[in-house]
Structure 1
Amino acid sequence: MKVDQKGHTVTIKDTQGDFNDFVEKVTQQFKTFEKHNVIIDLSADKNVSENDLKAFLPLVKIQKKAKKSFVIVASDLDFNSVSDKLTVVPSLLEAHDIIEMEEIERDLGF
């Protein structure tokens, strides 16, 4: 697991290739990230399914309550079949754009 922090955003990348182990590590260490916007980068893992991403739902709820963003980067998915409770995008650039838009919305009171 690789963690990069830039400003108010933390990007967490799976470096092991074991999805379940990665989710467990992120969940265990989440207290250290909860004051930041979080990007989960799964772009290197081609075997991730829409169903696998549901493992992040408890963390998404925590982030929404804290008024922070939680975005998952995954390629090779049918984005229309992903739960609307999850924000999933195909690239890191789009993840940063989504966070920026959500920050603006929060600043405006939406």
Structure 2
Amino acid sequence: MKVDQKGHTTTIKDTQGDVNAFLEKITHEHNSFKNQNLIIDITHDKGITVKDIKSFSELSKVHRKGKKSFVIVADGIDFNDVPVKIIAVPSLQEAHDIIEMEEIERDLGF
């Protein structure tokens, strides 16, 4: 797991390729990230599935309740199959763009 913090956003990158262990570790350490917008980068794991993405739904829900963004970056999945409650994008740039838009929405009171 590699953690990179820039401003109000923390990017957590999976370096092991084991989504379940990665999710467990992030969930366990969530308190240290709860005041940051989170980008979960699982592009390292080429065998990622939509089911794996869905396993992040509870953590996403908890994080978003704190008025912070939670975006998953994944590669090689059908993004149309990802539930609307989970934000998943194919690149880090798109993740940063989503967070920027959500910050503006929160500032405007939406």
Normalised by the shorter chain, which TM-score bucket?
A: over 0.9
For 2:16 and 2:64, locate their aligned partners in 1 and report how far apart those are by CA, in whole Å: 28
1:41 aligns with 41
2:88 aligns with 88
2:26 aligns with 26
Alignment of 1:3-18 (within 5 A): 3-18=3-18
Q: Which deviates the most, 19-28 or 89-98?
A: 19-28
Give the root-mean-square deviation of aligned CA atoms.
0.7
Deviation of 1:39 after TM superposition, in Å, equals 0.2
Q: Which deviates the most, 9-18 or 53-62?
A: 53-62
Alignment of 1:49-88 (within 5 A): 49-88=49-88
Q: Secondary structure at the match of 1:63?
A: helix
% identical aligned pairs: 63
TM-score w.r.t. length of structure 1:
0.97
For 2:89 and 2:53, locate their aligned partners in 1 and report how far apart those are by CA, in whole Å: 12
Deviation of 1:65 after TM superposition, in Å, equals 1.1
Deviation of 1:64 after TM superposition, in Å, equals 1.6
Q: State the one-letter code of the partner of 1:63.
A: H
Unpaired runs of 5+ residues, structure 1, are: none
Aligned positions, number? 110
For 1:29 and 1:97, locate their aligned partners in 2 and report how far apart those are by CA, in whole Å: 25
For 2:42 and 2:18, locate their aligned partners in 1 and report how far apart those are by CA, in whole Å: 11
Q: State the one-letter code of the partner of 1:56.
A: F
For 1:36 and 1:59, locate their aligned partners in 2 and report how far apart those are by CA, in whole Å: 14
